[in-house]
Structure 1
């Protein structure tokens, strides 16, 4: 297949997504497909770290321009970014005929002028990562209005949906689009396993954003206050933690720095406040990194990839505060698991290869239906272990690149 992967990215906010896209692109190519990534840059960037050095990756960026007061008023800066993306999309649309993709894979994003028409003219699939009607409530008023105004036209313009949880898929069933559930995966070889150290204090890590309330960073800080005997590492830009002695604020880290940090950690803390956007299921990329590193997990949501396991502690849904009983349970969990790793069977549940075999099968299903004008129900037949292993080996044949 000739696959065009269309995304909106920048270097500051999308580091996790960048590596997800890169690993996925490399897998598709090893599986024999001609795949390219075209990026609508949000800022005046011409390179996306971790992606732009790959063949077949192109960044579309409007000519540099600045609105007055964009450096002083955040809403003006965000308006400038939106205009930049809209102009970049026009340039991208003119070049798409040169590549002639058989399928466009698009990450759900805000409506842009001409985007619905572009997706409608090609066989296209949208990846849906959130219940967007809830997520958009946390965005500025202007963005919220634009998103809601263009949302349905984008959904109606695509031919299929890939949802990362069953909960999200259920919300989109009303649109009558072919869909499947494929949670986020990760290249397990990209993250080194933890190296337990019995000496000293236990180290817990939380990777997140201070401006996304549903991640629950406030609950992590409160937990650190209740458990002063442990060291809490928080990887998050612009985190105001005060002078709390057992919190180490790392700011934003690059991929190499984060991998080095994972090796020294004992426990990974996932999203703790998903209820704030009325969701119960998730599969965050940061937790996939914890799993790849073998870190036992503390979570407060349902992850369809993770079974009940003694190395995974699930806090109650709708957690508002940490009472003494739950603090004691967390302390006991840390003491039991700080020197342990997640089992290999759990790590394999989030392996990139298993996710991408299913995604490519869904693409083929839609493409066959598009060619024959008949689309049956999608039923995934798992590939053999040999087929998965073969697709993960580096290919000796160079896939041709076309622009």
Structure 2
């Protein structure tokens, strides 16, 4: 069974690039016929085995971006039509309000699964006027695309329920599968532990959107006098920094390299994830950041549910209260980092998750 997982991208996303690169690496290790490809303009992603370039370069301005979106979709679905002769099943990272997708699905010769990573309608509607217009278009086109697909693959159960709710009554029994995000683990790597007596916490994002809920944590810290250090890594807006004013316990590092993040993580007791997904209509998530924390042997405290079962001790779902976070950090203080990574292995290991998906597809083929 030959499977293609593909996405069309007009701009660079490090998370998507990591996920699809890891899929290719994992499939080679496990000797399964699973290929991941990103279709994009020249210059958007680095040239590699998972990249398929369009005939044009990345857009330079907003006008070009609109025109090139159309060109990209036109070339992408032509390319996909050719791939149907080489593969048995195609998985497509879902593209919102995409009429080209609808046309392709109607004409597809092999099973096409749509892969969903978010609640598309609530997320689009949470943005400005343009987002609301896009939400209107998605409402008109999206349900038809999902109806025309062979099956639905989602990263969380919440997303799965939402996508099923968009189906027509005739298609509510369409095949569905939960395929969580995963990470390529290197279990032979040693985990350095440099924790000291004062709790240190780590909160990482490339950019802190409002749904990360950083503002909620900072507001709660104002009324707390405990000893701790909160490391905030990523781009933070001035309005968020202004909440806390000057507090030596809160350290804004800006963007850091993977190595620099690793060095800071070695001193930390707990990693923090999003605390306000409700701002984009979600209560569950399956973030890459949580998996990276766990791979470093860091237990996680977050304001959202993940795919983990409740008896998984190293993921704590709670409110953005620094007292609660510190209590969890102290509870986890003496747990060995290797034990945490080992316990998380089956839940976050890309190789295991991909093999499970491939087996599922084989049964449906």
Verify same fold: TM over 0.5: yes
The alpha-carbon deviation at position 19 of structure 1 amounts to 0.9
Which of 293, 297, 312 is the aligned partner of 1:294? 297
Written as runs of structure 1 = structure 2, the 5 A alignment for 1:3-42 is 3-9=3-9, 14-41=13-40
2:77: which partner in 1?
93
Counterpart Cα distance in 2 of 1:17 and 1:348: 21
Written as runs of structure 1 = structure 2, the 5 A alignment for 1:49-198 is 49=46, 52-53=47-48, 55-60=49-54, 62-63=56-57, 66=60, 70=61, 77=62, 80-99=64-83, 100=85, 101-120=87-106, 121=108, 122-139=110-127, 140-174=131-165, 175=167, 176=172, 177-189=174-186, 194-198=191-195
User: Are the structure 2 counterparts of residues 279 and 47 from structure 1 closer, same or farther at C-alpha, using a change threshold of 3 Å?
Assistant: closer
> Bigger CA drift: 159-168 or 222-231?
222-231
Counterpart Cα distance in 2 of 1:61 and 1:267: 46
Counterpart Cα distance in 2 of 1:257 and 1:15: 17
Counterpart Cα distance in 2 of 1:338 and 1:191: 23
Q: Does 1:199 align with 2:196?
A: yes
Partners of 1:215 and 1:272 within 8 A in 2: yes
Q: Does 1:332 align with 2:319?
A: no
Counterpart Cα distance in 2 of 1:303 and 1:64: 35
TM-score by length of 1: 0.74
Cα displacement string for residues 214-266 of structure 1 (whole angstroms, at most 9, x for unaligned residues): 22121233355436632222222243324443333333344444444433432
Cα displacement string for residues 47-99 of structure 1 (whole angstroms, at most 9, x for unaligned residues): 524xx32x253133644555xxx4xxxxxx3x643432221122233334544
- Considering only aligned residues, what root-mean-square deviation do their CA atoms show, in Å? 3.0
**SS across alignment from 1:302:** coil
| Unpaired runs of at least 5, structure 2 | none
Counterpart Cα distance in 2 of 1:126 and 1:349: 22
Partners of 1:60 and 1:89 within 8 A in 2: no
| Unpaired runs of at least 5, structure 1 | 71-76, 368-403
**SS across alignment from 1:125:** strand
Counterpart Cα distance in 1 of 2:187 and 2:69: 31
The alpha-carbon deviation at position 115 of structure 1 amounts to 1.9
Counterpart Cα distance in 2 of 1:146 and 1:265: 44
The alpha-carbon deviation at position 350 of structure 1 amounts to 1.9
**SS across alignment from 1:84:** helix
May I ask how many residue pairs the two structures share in their alignment?
A: 343
Written as runs of structure 1 = structure 2, the 5 A alignment for 1:214-293 is 214-225=211-222, 226=224, 229-240=227-238, 241-242=241-242, 243-293=246-296
The alpha-carbon deviation at position 203 of structure 1 amounts to 2.1
TM-score by length of 2: 0.81
User: Are the structure 2 counterparts of residues 268 and 148 from structure 1 closer, same or farther at C-alpha, using a change threshold of 3 Å?
Assistant: same
